Amino acid sequence: MTTATTQPVNVTVTGAAGQIGYALLFRIASGQMLGPDTPVRLRLLEIPQGVKAAEGTAMELDDCAFPLLAGIDIHDDPRAGFEGANVALLVGARPRGPGMERADLLEANGGIFKPQGEAINAVAADDVKVLVVGNPANTNALIAASNAPDVPKDRFTAMTRLDHNRALSQVAARAGVPVAEVRRLTIWGNHSASQYPDLFHADVAGRPGSELAQDRAWLLDDFVPTVAKRGAAIIDARGASSAASAANAAVDHVHDWVLGTPEGDWTSAGIWSDGSYGVPEGIMSSFPVTSAGGPGATWDVVPDLEIGELSRERIDASVAELVEERDAVRGLGLI
Ligand SMILES: NC(=O)c1ccc[n+]([C@@H]2O[C@H](COP(=O)([O-])OP(=O)(O)OC[C@H]3O[C@@H](n4cnc5c(N)ncnc54)[C@H](O)[C@@H]3O)[C@@H](O)[C@H]2O)c1
Ligand SMILES: O=C(O)C[C@H](O)C(=O)O
């Protein structure tokens, strides 16, 4: 990763003409993702039908005259779109259509993330860092990583930062403290309604999160489902899925990966499990993670957290869903 230098970082964004793309690209180009000293070159990857709209977004990016934006190119071929990519944000995905079962969705997205993984393997920069946003994010990341055998598995991640940020906001509101005073929350498992937002290890303005968790009715009937089903609530209210908050979470994820997580805090990311906390190896599950930042930065799982019975059950349930998804895509020959 190139930081604090005049060498531009190549950032590939797929689904660039979509609603998240529109909320994301301007923030990347303004320096909010990689910092104020790092120029970026944007590679927009779309399907052929999306190219014209991506061209319109590129025109608007030009019109912002961002000092850090070193260039934009637009592609509909993954081999060209990921050429030299240092950071790859895989946003474009096939949404669930009427009558589509989960397996149909996994298969349709396999048709996107398998070739994209192969292309990243073939043409991305040696230091590529990948964030999968497109749903089902964890399993799409698993497909991409599994089809990029020459890229270390820890370079592929799935986005659960939006869930993490949602949980921070809910806890701050409940405790009546500024959101900046809530630290060390964790999202475990899948970016789906089965996810488990864990506040037992949190620091809430100097008080242990376990104190708030003592109100089990609030914890289990309010906090956990509000966070886990927030995506659906946004769709219901907006008539479209979250976009600006999703783009914000993608910016936060890459920012903290490349520049480091704040001292004394951690965040959540879907990463290739190494077996930590009893999560089976080789699925993309969300964990509490830190990054030291800098060249070669990795997400490191926060060690030695005590997992109580309630948390254990919830983590295991979400992990079981991920195992099912892995088995389904394995059955489809995608991994
Ligand atoms: N992980 C998260 O927290 C999170 C949060 C919000 C949304 N999402 C997911 O992000 C994805 C994108 O959401 P959106 O609102 O921007 O959708 P959108 O439909 O507005 O845009 C998706 C874009 O992807 C493009 N696309 C489709 N297939 C592609 C391919 N093979 N290569 C390149 N581009 C391709 C489409 O042409 C479209 O422009 C969805 O899967 C959504 O469910 C994830
Ligand atoms: O929940 C969804 O389908 C959209 C997205 O993943 C979200 O969490 O907002």
At residue 5 the predicted structure's pLDDT band, cuts being 50, 70 and 90, is low
Q: Reduce the secondary structure of the chain to three states and give it as a string.
A: CCCCCCCCEEEEEECCCCHHHHHHHHHHHCCCCCCCCCCEEEEEECCHHHHHHHHHHHHHHHHCCCCCEEEEEEECCHHHHCCCCCEEEECCCCCCCCCCCHHHHHHHHHHHHHHHHHHHHHHCCCCCEEEECCCCHHHHHHHHHHCCCCCCHHHEEECCHHHHHHHHHHHHHHHCCCHHHEECCEEEECCCCCCEEECCCCEECCEEHHHHHCCHHHHHHHHHHHHHCHHHHHHHHHCCCCCHHHHHHHHHHHHHHHHCCCCCCCEEEEEECCCHHHCCCCCEEEEEEECCCCCCCCCEECCCCCCCHHHHHHHHHHHHHHHHHHHHHHHCCCC
Quick count: other Cβ atoms within 10 Å of Cβ 176?
8
Distance CA 328, CA 285 (A): 16
Task: Lowest mean pLDDT of 22-36, 60-74, 91-105, name the range.
Answer: 91-105
User: pLDDT tens digits, residue range 50-78?
Assistant: 999 999 999 999 999 999 999 999 999 99
- For ligand 1, residues with CB inside 6 Å are 14-15, 17-21, 45-47, 50, 91-93, 95, 112, 133-135, 137, 159, 162, 191, 241-243, 246
User: pLDDT tens digits, residue range 271-317?
Assistant: 999 999 999 999 999 999 999 999 899 999 999 999 999 999 999 99
The atom of ligand 2 lying closest to the CA of 135 is: 6
Residues 155-162 have a mean pLDDT of 98
Residues 136, 193: contact at Cβ < 8 Å?
no
Q: Strand 203-204 vs strand 207-208: parallel, antiparallel, or unpaired?
A: antiparallel
Residues 309, 317: contact at Cβ < 8 Å?
no
Residues 11-33 have a mean pLDDT of 98
The atom of ligand 2 lying closest to the CA of 246 is: 9
Ligand-binding annotation for 96, yes or no, is: yes
Q: Quick check: 1 pLDDT over 50?
A: no
Q: Select from 86, 8, 7, 88 the least CA-distant residue to 45.
A: 88
The interface predicted TM-score (ipTM) is: 0.99
Ligand-binding annotation for 31, yes or no, is: no
**pLDDT reported for residue 231:** 93
Q: Which ligand is nearest to the CA of 45?
A: 1
**pLDDT reported for residue 109:** 92
Q: Quick check: 243 pLDDT over 80?
A: yes
Distance CA 186, CA 21 (A): 26
Candidate of 100, 135, 190 to mutate for ligand 2, largest count of ligand atoms within 8 Å of Cβ: 135
pTM for the whole thing? 0.97
Ligand-binding annotation for 121, yes or no, is: no
Q: Quick check: 4 pLDDT over 50?
A: no
Dihedral angle, C-alpha 229, 232, 233, 234, nearest 10 °: 120
Cα of 131 from ligand 1 centre, angstroms: 13
The atom of ligand 2 lying closest to the CA of 234 is: 9
Ligand-binding annotation for 72, yes or no, is: no
Active site residues: 191
**pLDDT reported for residue 8:** 98
At residue 159 the predicted structure's pLDDT band, cuts being 50, 70 and 90, is very high
Q: Quick check: 3 pLDDT over 60?
A: no
Mean residue pLDDT across the chain: 96
Nearest CA to ligand 2 atom 2: 231
Q: Quick check: 102 pLDDT over 90?
A: no
